Amino acid sequence: MKSLRARIIFHVFHKIGVSKRINTSFWKFLGLKIGQDTYIGKNTKVTWPHQVELGNNCRLEHGIYFHYDGIYSQGPSICIGNDVFIGNNTEFNITDRITIGSNCLIAAGCRFVDHNHGLEKSMLIRNQLAPKNEIVLEEDVWLGCNVVVLIGVKIGKGAVIAAGSIVNKNIPSYEIWGGVPAKKIGKRKTT
């Protein structure tokens, strides 16, 4: 009986958003900068909370991983604008910086990696300095499921990236790209 009551209470609190508010308050307490009406799903992982800044009215599903890959430094290095949706199990693996503009839609399973490994033959790959370069998504970008965005990429305003694509070069505004590696497959039409 006690277990049933606990489940009912949890279900009611979950439906009215209490658990989301508690989760969001927890991350704020740890130093994550969170705008108004932004909610973070459960099982979110953050290596350095002060490195993450979320705008207003963002929705982050469960299992998102904010991995700032480096020693302590002043933040934030992961900056997300207003009205952004991020799907479950998305990973930000950042050494330099990522900026995501307002009104972006990032589907489940996307990956962002702003660094690489050296390729000199004379030394072990793991011992080489890792090149790094900022990733930028301008406003109103839509990434389909499981898109990978690599070092130094800038995706222009209003661009759309097809599910499963690997983006390794800059994408102009309002274009539609897809594939491995991603190539232009269309342009958004005006109505």
Question: What pLDDT digit, counting tens, does each position of 3-37 carry?
Answer: 666 556 555 544 544 455 667 788 888 888 999 99
pLDDT band at 74 (very low <50, low <70, confident <90, very high): confident
Amino acid 172: pLDDT: 98
Each residue's pLDDT tens digit, 82-115: 999 999 999 999 999 999 999 999 999 999 999 9
Each residue's pLDDT tens digit, 119-154: 889 999 989 888 999 999 999 999 999 999 999 999
Task: With a cut of 80, say whether residue 176 has pLDDT above it.
Answer: yes
What is the Cα–Cα distance from 76 to 82, expressed in whole angstroms? 16
- Tell me the CATH class for 2-187: mainly beta
Catalytic residue numbers, as ranges: 117
- Please state the domain extents for the chain: 2-187
Amino acid 1: pLDDT: 47
Each residue's pLDDT tens digit, 55-65: 999 999 999 99
